[in-house]
Amino acid sequence: MPFSNNILAMVKSLVTIPVAVKLSPFFSSLANMARRLDEAGADGLVLFNRFYQPDIDLDSLVVRPNVILSTPQALRLPLRWIAILYGRVRADLAATSGIHTAQDVIKMLMAGANVTMLCSVLQRHGVNHIRLIEQGLRRWMEEREYESVGQMRGSMSQIHCANPGEFERAQYVRALHSFKPAPA
């Protein structure tokens, strides 16, 4: 059993609460790691841990912490992997990074997330911003006659998508060809 699975098994043997593992996107085989953690008993997988990295202050020549809040563009990486893992692991999937709007929450839920996590948007706008996101989620669901979040969860995952290849690397060239630069 790999080192990380041993640690997970040890933690699971010592506690009675659910154990979630926050993953980094930098594994050489993320799907394999997720599967192994799932098999080792992880109750949840959090996609993804954002590492805060230092910066160099060129005036004082010292290393300084540099917190850069996420942007909505950061949503794409966890969205893709949650959509791929949904239905392939038993563990709950938690989405983090780039979730700023009700639409972002909806996308993550439809990809297969059991929960979405907010941080940067709350640091920017305050904790009461959650109300706006919740109102937007409720409005969107009512307009489309969704009765529950569970009804929409995973509906746009890879296993439910009309073209599952859309979530795979092979689509990279197609995505580049579809890019249209802004007029000068």
Cβ atoms 76, 49 nearer than 8 A: no
Reported as a pLDDT band with limits 50, 70 and 90, residue 122 is very high
Condensed to tens digits (0 to 9), the pLDDT of residues 43-72 reads: 999 999 877 788 999 999 999 888 888 888
Percentage of the chain exceeding pLDDT 90: 68
Condensed to tens digits (0 to 9), the pLDDT of residues 134-174 reads: 999 999 999 999 999 999 999 999 999 887 777 776 455 55
Cβ atoms 21, 44 nearer than 8 A: yes
What integer pLDDT is reported at residue 114 of this predicted model?
98
Q: Respond yes or no on whether the N-terminal peptide bond of residue 167 is cis (omega within 30° of 0).
A: no
Task: Identify the DSSP state of 59.
Answer: T
Over range 25-36, report the average pLDDT: 90
Please, which residues have CB within 8 angstroms of residue 39's CB and are 6 or more apart in sequence? 5
pTM for the complete prediction? Answer: 0.84
Q: Say how far residue 45 (Cα) sits from the centre of its chain.
A: 9
Neighbouring C-beta atoms of residue 171, cutoff 10 Å: 14
Phi, psi of 24 (to 5 degrees): -100, 150
Q: What's the N-to-C CA distance of the chain in angstroms?
A: 56
